[in-house]
A and B are shown apart, each in its own frame.
Chain A
Amino acid sequence: MLTTQQLIDIEVGTIATLQGGRITKYNDSQLCWLAGKHNTIGLYNGKRWVPVVPNTAPVVTLPAVTISGATLTSGVVYDVYAQYQSDTSFTFAFQEWASQTARYNDPTVPAGRFQGIAVYNPNTTSGQQLRYLGSVMLDGITGTPKFMDTYTQRFVVNYYNTKTMPVQTYNSSTTYYQYNTANQAWIEYGTGVPAILAAQVRGEFISIHKNMDIAGAITVQHGAILQYFGVGIGLNNLNPLLSYYWADEQDYSDNFPCVTSCYGTPRSGYNWITTVVSLKNDQSTNAPNTVMTVATPGDFGSGYLLVTV
């Protein structure tokens, strides 16, 4: 016969820790929870943990509101919670971050663990009923807010049942890319460069684990005249020593592809990557060029990372 403690262990252990699904972008205006490893999620109903098996996939449709009633907005990061409704249904609840890289600044929302499970507020019954599922950011570029999960915008990230997905940055321009500098300073595409910048696409993602690392590669092809430069993947345009590696190339006449590798530690929340270049002037025998022209738009400056979402 099971003891009372064993029954509690089973209730808390096997029911509370159940979470077999993932939050997933269904379309631009809908976010849903889909069964993954299994179709059960443990939710606290105010008295005990209950194994909830949704009859239909829970969906939220934009426009939607946060816990405090604010409308979900582009460019804002939100935590996503599952809120118990019945043994066969739950709804989504959203809590906006204080900024794109910092969670709540509301001291009444401690966001902690209740019986080991990450919840909205472990100190209130209503907060215990909101189980953390992951985070999203709505499209921060233009127009109507929408959920995004593409190669260049990984804006749906799960806390449970994560998987590895690629994120990409590339030059989408139809014209050559020209880079002007006489120094060794790092410059990100799209910052202070007077050509084809509007079409530059950024690879972006959000991370909820500060200790998650990234590693990736970048390919580059350059053209005709004597050049000497470095390329890399920039992470949040921060310290180059952490975010960039060099792939130097000096060549007289050939188009020459080169590959480099890089690593970086994302910050919590919104991150972005770009390809970066810099001319160099530390070669005594070669004066730096002031203009670098890149051949074959679209082939130049592709960068790829693997992220966990």
Chain B
Amino acid sequence: MLTNYQLSEIELAAIRTQQGGRIATYNATSSGTSTELRWQPYVHGNIALWNGKTWTIITPDYIPAYNTSLDTTGQALAADTNYDVYVKYQTSTSGSLELVKWAGDNSRGYSGPNRTDGGVFVYDNSATGKTMRYVGAVRVIQVLSTKYFIDGRYQRFVVNWDHLITSAVNASNSGGSTWVINTSGSSPIEVAVGNIRGEFLCLDNMCYLGGTKLGNLNTENVANWRWAGTFINTVLATSGPKHGWSQDGASSGNRGHEPGTIGTAYTRLGLNYLSIGGGNTVSMTFDPGTSPEIRTAGSLLIYT
């Protein structure tokens, strides 16, 4: 016969660890934008929540946001802002998604999420806070006057705490114009022209793998080494977090060369950038390519 303590152990361990779903955009456009975020079953359909007295399991078809346009304090969702996402207990068969605003792009600015005495991340250990189980984070964007969640090539802004999957994030020149890197020193700089940045959220410091390539160097009269690669978070030095480098020495003549790289990168909590840049002792110009090609681009495999 099990003792009360053993029964308590079963109740805590067996129930509270249940979380089989993922948060995701719902009815997203081809570019990845959506006005609705949902928790949906993934490996299974259970999620354990503290109902105020004990841990209990609900198995809904999905969990919607309590209010699709407000955070937990009742404030309107703000553009270019990160939010933690919690599933809050509502009834024995339902929950709701609750969004808690971060203070900055890379700083939560509040004490949560906190682990309960049972090890599950919740908002905090208050009576209400314990009913909110942490499931991930999002970053809200605004297009014209509408706020959106987005999980697309250039903006991976829905990231899960449980059951991570691989996703690709991309940086490329979609502007159709040449890119010019002007620097008088040997330190590389990020190319800040065109739609080149890929952005993504990260909840941990992870190492990612990816590659990049740069368009034809059509500054043809330079007989110097030049460097190019993909940057993480505009870290420009040759040490520290970066994505990868290649270098190319060209001789004279009307000729181009494209350096390609593959490498790894470490990320930071919250918002991260994937971008492209290079360095030289004089300016250099990258050919953007002719449709349908995109010559200057980088991609990275991340977990969301």
Contact = CB atoms under 8 A, between A and B. Distances in A.
Given A115-B59, A209-B165, A245-B213, 15 more contacts: A1-B4, A1-B7, A9-B14, A13-B57, A211-B165, A212-B166, A215-B166, A215-B300, A248-B215, A250-B256, A258-B260, A259-B246, A261-B210, A262-B299, A282-B290
Contact of A263 (B59, B165, B215, B299): B299
Interface string B145-166: 0000000010000000000011
A302 interface: no
16 contacts: A1-B4, A5-B56, A5-B92, A10-B15, A13-B57, A16-B46, A17-B43, A116-B59, A160-B43, A209-B165, A214-B168, A215-B209, A215-B301, A217-B211, A260-B260, A261-B211
A261 B299 contact: yes
Contacts of A115: 45, 59
Given A214-B168, A248-B295, A6 B301 contact: no
A191 interface: no
Contacts of A244: 293
A202 to B, nearest CB: 21
A261 B212 contact: yes
Output the residue of A248, A252, A262 with the most chain B CB within 10 A: A248
A259 B14 contact: no
A261 B262 contact: yes
B180 interface: no
Interface in B260-286: 260-262
A154 B297 CA distance: 28
Interface of B: 4, 7, 10-11, 14-15, 18, 20, 24, 41, 43-46, 48, 54-57, 59, 92, 153, 165-168, 170, 209-213, 215-216, 246, 254-258, 260-262, 289-290, 292-295, 297-301
B18 A17 contact: yes
A295 interface: no
A300 to B, nearest CB: 15
A213 B302 CA distance: 9
B46 A247 contact: no
Contacts of B7: 1-2
A13 B49 CA distance: 12
A276 B24 CA distance: 33
Contact of B11 (A10, A12, A263): A10
Interface string A224-264: 00000010000000001100111111111000001111111
Interface of A: 1-2, 5-6, 9-10, 12-14, 16-17, 19, 113, 115-117, 159-160, 164, 184, 209, 211-217, 230, 240-241, 244-252, 258-265, 282, 285, 306, 308
Nearest to A285: B254
B293 A260 contact: no
Contact of A248 (B20, B44, B256): B256
Contacts of B295: 245-246, 248
Contacts of B57: 9, 12-13
A259 B257 CA distance: 12
Contacts of B299: 215, 245, 261-263
Given A246-B289, A308-B165, A9 B301 contact: no
B11 A246 contact: no
- 5 nearest A-B residue pairs (beta carbon): A116-B45, A261-B211, A259-B260, A263-B168, A213-B168
A150 B20 CA distance: 30
Contacts of B153: 263
A17 B215 contact: no
A295 B281 CA distance: 34
A216 B55 CA distance: 43
A2 to B, nearest CB: 6
Contacts of B293: 184, 230, 240, 244, 246
Output the residue of B10, B211, B300 with the most chain A CB within 10 A: B211
Nearest to A113: B45
Nearest to A240: B292
B2 to A, nearest CB: 9
Contact of A250 (B24, B255, B289, B290): B255
A244 B293 CA distance: 8
A259 B211 contact: yes
Contact of A247 (B20, B165, B260): B260
A16 B44 contact: yes
Contacts of B216: 248, 250
Contact of A260 (B43, B54, B213): B213
A164 B166 contact: yes
A81 to B, nearest CB: 15
Contacts of A247: 213, 258, 260
Contacts of A213: 166-168, 301
A212 B165 contact: yes
Nearest to A256: B257
A164 to B, nearest CB: 7
